[in-house]
Amino acid sequence: MNENTAQKMIMASIAGALAFAALGIIWGLYADSQMIQFDGYYSFISVLLSMISMMALRFISKEDPERFPFGKESFIPLTIVIKYFGILVLILISLVQAFTALFSGGNAMSMGSGVLYALISAVGCYAAYAYFKSRGQGDALITAEMNQWRMDALLSIGVLGGFLIGWLLSLTFMEPIVPFIDPVMVILVAGYFIKVPLSELYASLRELLEMAPERPIAEAVETQVLHIRKFHGFQDHALRLQKMGTKLYIEVDFIVPIEDDLTIYEQDRIRQDLKQRLQSLTLDPWTTVVFTHERQQQQKSR
């Protein structure tokens, strides 16, 4: 994706999140609802984290080969770690507050006001999610924004259902349990969404720790390397992969028979063939191909 386009999309995300943050915090305080306040504070945290994404994107887009000879892709998973750690902290704080309210007699509020807020929020967040989903394929930072809006949309839908149930119960003999609905919704929603930041933190930390990429990526590269190895009659190969942001580092050692003396021209042709075969990847491949007669003591990928 064009970096200017990505920056504009993140700016749009910031503006939208700021609007929902103000709406949620003010409405939540007025209606005395922990659930609505959680939604508002989540949106406010999202604004701060989106600004971090914007600064990171601008920093990454400025090339500095002297200080960063291999690029600045490591700042992408680092930014995502900061982003989802902030969301994780917010979720944990909200859980503590919700349990405190639950064991303190609940939280009385107007269910009708909650229904109206949740309806407005659900429609707006889903529209933002659909926008980013249609335009952000393949970009890690934009995908993070998309996931953020997806969480907001699902959160608002869940809140809408909870407030509707609370409003209906307030019209029946079960009205005494209505004050407990608000903190219970916070617990259920926060407990459900905690898996999103945890999974994203795990994926980004894998990249920062230079671990191998996910199996589908590794298998796609292995298939192409194995094809080249068999086509040229090489004895074996060693493959090492590392994903960092949008870049995929690929290092291949082909074990060439002793009687086979490849010329520089032939080696370059094989390298070019591999690069062309990897163009179908959504990532940017950074390939290093070595030809050797020696079997080095390395972990082989077969």
Question: Tens place of pLDDT for every residue, the chain, 302 residues?
Answer: 566 777 788 788 888 888 988 999 999 888 888 888 888 888 788 788 778 877 877 887 787 778 887 777 788 888 888 888 888 998 898 899 889 888 888 777 778 888 899 899 999 989 988 888 887 666 677 787 788 788 778 878 878 888 898 888 888 888 888 888 888 888 888 888 788 889 889 888 888 888 888 888 889 999 999 999 999 889 899 999 988 887 888 999 999 988 888 889 999 999 999 999 988 887 888 899 999 887 654 444 44
- Beta pairing, strands 284-292 & 247-255: parallel
Residue 301 has a pLDDT of 44
Coil, helix or strand at residue 290: strand
Helix (H, G, I), strand (E, B) or coil at 298: coil
Place of tokens 């459900």: 192
Give the pLDDT confidence score for residue 225 in this predicted structure. 93
Topology adopted by domain 3-208: Alpha-lytic protease prodomain-like (1.20.1510)
Instruction: Indicate the helix (H) or strand (E) that contains 277.
Output: helix 264-277
DSSP 72: S
Equal fold, 3-208 vs 215-292? no
Under a CB-based contact definition with an 8 Å cutoff, are residues 52 and 82 in contact?
yes
Give the angle 172-118-22 at the CA atoms, nearest 5°.
135
pTM of the predicted structure, to 2 decimals: 0.66
Residue 29, C-beta contacts closer than 8 angstroms, at least 6 positions apart: 37
Q: How far apart are the first and last CA of the chain?
A: 33
How is the chain split into domains, by residue range?
Answer: 3-208, 215-292
User: What pairs with residue 254 in β-bridges?
Assistant: 237, 291
Q: CA-CA distances (angstroms) from residue 219 to 212, 225, 288?
A: 11, 10, 18
CATH superfamily of this structure's domain 215-292: Cation efflux protein, cytoplasmic domain (3.30.70.1350)
